[in-house]
Structure 1
Amino acid sequence: MKIAVIGTGGVGGYFGAKLAQADNEVTFIARGAHLEAIRENGLLVKSVYGDMHITNVNATDKITDINKADLVLVAVKAWQIKEIREEINHILHSNSIVLPLQNGVLAADELAEVIPAKHIMGGLCRIFSLIEAPGVVNHVGFKPEIVFGERNGSLSTRMGKLTQLFEHAGVAHKASRDIEADVWKKFIFICTSALLAVTKTTYGELRELNETRQMMIALLNEIYAVSQKKGVNIKPNFIDKTIEVIDSVAYDSTSSLTRDVWEGKPSEIDYQNGTVVKLAEQYGVDVPVNRFICNCILPMELKARGKFGG
């Protein structure tokens, strides 16, 4: 299969390498020193499940260099979707699949504002990974998994094709009949990332201290309440299961949003807790913890984007 990986960070780098290793024709989109290192030395993926070194990599910084991809894995930050969707539209043929793997719940809708909806599936991934150095991606936790499904809940032929693709590549996967619910389940979990950023804690530290643990539980319950007002199919015991997962992750684990805030980089706050606040206003739900976190991060976010002060 001819595959375009848009964004060769922790997500795109790992899954793209797995697909390339399985003899698919993969083109990676990267930038700057990361791109140069990949061109010179290949893409090295370190993983707790075994390292991969992909040599002779097809890599570019221009999406339009790609000629008609069968599958487009969209692995950029959520806030970058609007910047690249026009270019993605130009590399599609009539049967191309566009699979967004962003955090948040808006990616598929934002892509569909420009790209014909027939191309877009719902998707998400579960992985703890990051760029360790130019040309090097490090997978540090969670068994990597991709979840995908038709946005109308149907079973389709192309879902079967993706199942075969991921099976052949050794990628854990799930073909979902309710991708909206699956996306929201991940969304609820990852919105704890901003609480880590504000409290300057790891997951272990956050859950260990009773005061921050209670904030975490309140945050999760607020988002669940919003999901129910929106009509998302999530059972009431999901929050307890989410807390169990948080209690099981490595003590020193953080997240990409957490690290971005700490490092003064633009983050996905508007697509995570910011989305919770906006939807809560729309559906009349009170979300004081999520609102407090957004307000705390807002000055840092504006500084990171050069929009604060003189």
Structure 2
Amino acid sequence: MRILVVGAGAIGGYFGGRLLQAGGDITFLVRPRRAAELASAGLVIRSPTGDVTLPNPPTVQADALKEHFDVVLLSCKAYDLQDAVASFAPAVGPQTAIIPLLNGMRHLDVLDAKFGREPVLGGLCAIAVTLNDKREVVQLQPMQSLTFGERAGGSSDRVQAIFDVFKRGNFNASASENIMQEMWEKWVFLASLAASTTLMRAPVGVILAAPDGKEFLLGMLDECSSVAAAAGYAPGGPFFQRVSGMLTTEGSPMTASMFRDLRAGLPVEADHVIGDLVTRADAAKVPVPKLRIAYTHLKVYEAQRGG
């Protein structure tokens, strides 16, 4: 099975690297600078589960992409989605499956509009990973998983075939029969955490220690959950209990990656992760005052950053 990994940054580099390490037929679609880095230093993964250096991993650049692949693993940031779609489009043939690992749902509309609904699976990952100043992939915690499945629910031969390959990567791959529910639940958690920590410019534990901090965090979670429920994907009891516990752990250093990006002056996925929830809330007439303030705050940040 030929797999094209779009990008060799933190997420693509980790999951693609683990598949390559396991003997998978992996090619990374990268820009010229990243291609040069990988040719020189290899793809280096630093991880609590084991370091690895993969010399000269297979790469291709967009202008040389001519052949179709069986799977396209898409792990770009939302603000790079349009460019990514244009770059990997030649790799998509009649039998290609696209597995996007972006947060939220907005990217599904973009991919469906370009390729049709049939090739596009649902997908999500859970991992804390970054690129260091040496351009090495650094896993920050011993946690990694990649989940995917048919958006209509149930299983399929193609999902099973992909799973048979992914499970060799030793990153807790799973084939879900209810991937849309899982994607919505991750979105609810991520948006709650991102909106709260970016708005307050602090990790969960610091927010909790402030007056009404607990009420603020759980209120944000309630708002995001209400949007999911209006869309027909109400977060389940075990999920809500688990996430509520994570958001009410005293002294927790937990923040969202969006918070870390904001602190570093980097682009953020304001529209994709927060704004799209506000839009859906408005359409469903669900009040989300806290989420709306967080979105306004992020758009002010983007305006100042752009200026």
| Common fold: TM-score over 0.5 | yes
Offset at residue 197 of structure 1 (A): 1.9
Shift in CA distance, 149/260, structure 1 to aligned 2, threshold 3 Å: same
Contact 1:226 1:276 in 2 (8 A): yes
SS in 2 for 1:37: helix
Instruction: Determine the structure 1 residue equivalent to 2:219.
Output: 218
In terms of mean alpha carbon deviation, does 143-152 or 103-112 score higher?
A: 103-112
Q: Is the 8 A contact 1:35 1:135 kept in 2?
A: no
Change (3 A) 1:212 1:108: same
Task: State the alpha-carbon separation in 2 of the partners of residues 38 and 303 from structure 1.
Answer: 34
Per the alignment, residue 156 of structure 1 pairs with: 156
Deviation at 1:279, TM superposition (A): 0.6
The AA in structure 1 aligned to 2:289 is P
**CA–CA distance in structure 2, aligned partners of residues 170 and 187 of structure 1:** 25
Q: 2:8 aligns to what?
A: 8
Cα distance, 1:48–1:232 mapped onto 2, change above 3 Å: same
Q: Would you say the 8 A contact 2:127–2:143 is kept in 1?
A: yes
CA 237–135 in structure 1, closer or farther in 2 if over 3 Å, else same: closer
Q: Note if contact 2:206-2:251 (Cα within 8 Å) is conserved in structure 1.
A: no
SS at match of 2:124: strand
| Counterpart amino acid of residue 129 in structure 2 | S
Which stretch has the larger CA shift, 128-137 or 59-68? 59-68
| d(CA) in 2 for partners of 1:14, 1:144 | 10
Does the 8 A contact of 1:27 with 1:60 survive in 2?
yes
1:289 aligned residue: 290
1:99: how far off?
0.1
Do the aligned residues in 2 keep the contact of 1:33 with 1:134 (CA within 8 Å)?
A: no
1:182 & 1:148 partners in 2: Cα distance?
9
Q: In the alignment, which residue of structure 2 is the partner of 1:270? A: 271
Q: Distance in 1 between matches of 2:214 and 2:8?
A: 34
Gaps of 5+ in 2: none
TM-score (norm: length of structure 1): 0.91
User: In the alignment, does 2:165 pair up with 1:131?
Assistant: no
Q: CA deviation at 1:234?
A: 2.8
Change (3 A) 1:101 1:210: farther
Conserved 8 A contact 2:9-2:131: yes
Match of 2:19?
19
Structure 2 residue matching 1:124: 3-state secondary structure: strand
* Cα-to-partner distance string for 1:221-244 (whole Å, 9 max, x where unaligned): 001111111111532453222122
Give SS of 1:23's match. Answer: coil
List, as ranges, runs of 4+ consecutive aligned residues in structure 1 with deviation greater than 6 Å.
Answer: none
Change (3 A) 1:300 1:28: same
Whether the 8 Å CA contact 2:27–2:60 is kept in 1: the answer is yes
AA aligned opposite 1:289: K
Q: Which moved more, 1:233-242 or 1:262-271?
A: 233-242
Change in CA separation of 1:44 and 1:206 when aligned onto 2, cut-off 3 Å? farther
C-alpha separation in 2, matches of 1:124 and 1:142 = 17
Distance 2:197 2:148 in 1: 28
Corresponding residue of 2:50: 50
Give, as a single letter, the amino acid of the residue that structure 1 aligns with 2:73: L
* Cα distance in 1 between the residues matched to 2:148 and 2:127: 15
Query: Closer, same or farther in 2 for the Cα pair 1:27/1:80, shift >3 Å?
Result: same
The answer (yes or no) to whether the contact 2:204–2:252 under 8 Å persists in 1 is: yes
Q: Identity, % of aligned pairs?
A: 25
CA 1:90/1:232 → structure 2, altered by over 3 Å: closer, same or farther?
Answer: same
- Structure 1: unaligned runs, 5 residues or longer: none
1:247 CA drift (Å):
5.4
Distance 1:33 1:205, change over 3 A: farther
Query: How much is the aligned-residue C-alpha RMSD, in angstroms?
Result: 2.2
Higher mean Cα deviation, 255-264 or 98-107?
255-264
- Cα deviation per residue 1:165-216 (whole Å; 9 max; x = unaligned)? 1222212022111111100111011111232122222344334445333222
Q: 1:280 to 1:82 in 2, by over 3 A?
A: same
TM (norm. structure 2) is: 0.91
Distance 1:40 1:5 in 2: 19
Counterpart contact for 2:4–2:27, Cα < 8 Å: yes
- Partners of 2:30 and 2:177 in 1: how far apart? 32
Count of residues in correspondence between the two structures: 306
Distance, in Å, in 2 between the alignment partners of 1:66 and 1:131 is: 29
Give the alignment of 1:182-193 within 5 angstroms.
182-191=182-191, 192-193=193-194
